[in-house]
Amino acid sequence: MATENGGEIMDIYVCGICGHEYNQERGEPDMGIPPGVDFSQLPEDWRCPICQAARSMFKRQ
Protein backbone atom coordinates (compact mmCIF):
# COMPACT_ATOMS: atom_id res chain seq x y z
CA MET A 1 0.00 0.00 0.00
CA ALA A 2 1.34 3.39 -0.97
CA THR A 3 1.73 6.14 1.51
CA GLU A 4 1.74 9.82 0.79
CA ASN A 5 4.45 12.16 1.97
CA GLY A 6 5.89 9.37 4.06
CA GLY A 7 3.01 9.75 6.45
CA GLU A 8 0.91 6.95 7.72
CA ILE A 9 -2.56 6.51 6.37
CA MET A 10 -4.80 4.92 8.90
CA ASP A 11 -8.13 3.87 7.54
CA ILE A 12 -11.04 3.49 9.85
CA TYR A 13 -14.09 1.53 8.82
CA VAL A 14 -17.39 1.99 10.57
CA CYS A 15 -20.15 -0.58 10.86
CA GLY A 16 -23.31 0.67 9.18
CA ILE A 17 -25.43 -1.15 11.73
CA CYS A 18 -24.00 -0.49 15.15
CA GLY A 19 -21.30 2.08 14.50
CA HIS A 20 -18.45 -0.13 15.61
CA GLU A 21 -15.15 1.13 14.28
CA TYR A 22 -12.48 -1.10 12.82
CA ASN A 23 -9.19 0.61 13.38
CA GLN A 24 -6.29 -0.81 11.44
CA GLU A 25 -3.88 0.49 14.03
CA ARG A 26 -5.58 -1.53 16.71
CA GLY A 27 -6.78 -4.57 14.83
CA GLU A 28 -9.39 -6.69 16.50
CA PRO A 29 -7.49 -8.55 19.22
CA ASP A 30 -10.59 -10.19 20.60
CA MET A 31 -11.09 -11.84 17.21
CA GLY A 32 -7.48 -12.76 16.68
CA ILE A 33 -6.82 -9.89 14.27
CA PRO A 34 -3.47 -8.32 15.16
CA PRO A 35 -2.76 -4.60 14.86
CA GLY A 36 -1.79 -3.41 11.39
CA VAL A 37 -4.16 -5.59 9.39
CA ASP A 38 -5.86 -3.58 6.68
CA PHE A 39 -9.61 -3.92 6.46
CA SER A 40 -9.28 -5.42 2.98
CA GLN A 41 -7.07 -8.14 4.40
CA LEU A 42 -9.61 -9.35 6.89
CA PRO A 43 -11.03 -12.83 6.27
CA GLU A 44 -14.03 -12.94 3.97
CA ASP A 45 -16.15 -14.31 6.74
CA TRP A 46 -15.08 -11.60 9.16
CA ARG A 47 -18.02 -9.96 10.81
CA CYS A 48 -18.65 -7.09 13.14
CA PRO A 49 -17.77 -8.27 16.64
CA ILE A 50 -20.69 -6.32 18.05
CA CYS A 51 -23.62 -7.01 15.75
CA GLN A 52 -22.27 -9.69 13.39
CA ALA A 53 -22.82 -7.53 10.34
CA ALA A 54 -20.98 -8.63 7.21
CA ARG A 55 -17.90 -6.80 6.01
CA SER A 56 -19.93 -5.21 3.23
CA MET A 57 -21.89 -3.27 5.83
CA PHE A 58 -18.80 -1.35 6.84
CA LYS A 59 -18.05 2.00 5.34
CA ARG A 60 -14.74 3.75 5.14
CA GLN A 61 -14.68 6.76 7.32
By the criterion CB under 5 A, which residues form the site for Zn ion?
15, 17-18, 20, 48, 50-51, 53
Q: Which residues of 30-40 are buried (b: 16+ CB within 10 A; e: fewer)?
A: eeebeeebebe
> Which of residues 5 and 56 has its CB atom nearest to Zn ion in the complex?
56
Nearest 5°: phi and psi at 26? -100, -30
CB of 43 to Zn ion, least distance (A): 16
CB of 45 to Zn ion, least distance (A): 15
CA distances, 17 to each of 12, 35, 43, 49, 61 (Å) = 15, 23, 19, 12, 14
> Which of residues 17 and 37 has its CB atom nearest to Zn ion in the complex?
17
> Which of residues 12 and 53 has its CB atom nearest to Zn ion in the complex?
53
